[in-house]
Amino acid sequence: MDKKAKDDELYQEMCRVVGKVVLEMRDLGQEPKHIVIAGVVRTMLANHKIKRSALTEEAMEHVIKALGYEL
């Protein structure tokens, strides 16, 4: 897979992760602020009981960094 295709795949997975978090927050009546989204994704990533693909884990890490926070 070339770099552009890999980057596109990673970007799509990042969008899927953020979209899922935002929709779940909306369902819970919470306002999806970037600090809260980053915290939710960080907490999800820390849960090692859930098996995720390497792409999803990488996407989650990039989401946290893109929102301006550290892992």
Prediction pTM value = 0.86
Residue 20 Ramachandran class (φ > 0 left, ψ -120 to 50 alpha, else beta): alpha
For the segment 11-33, the average pLDDT, to the nearest whole number, is 93
Residue 31 has pLDDT above 90, yes or no: no
Domain that holds residue 24: 1-65
Tokens, residue 12? 């799509």
The alpha-helical segments, DSSP class H, found in 1-71 are 3-27, 34-46, 54-66
Residue 47 has pLDDT above 80, yes or no: yes
* Mean per-residue pLDDT of the chain: 93
Residue 26 forms part of a structural domain: yes
Residue 38 forms part of a structural domain: yes
Residue 15 forms part of a structural domain: yes
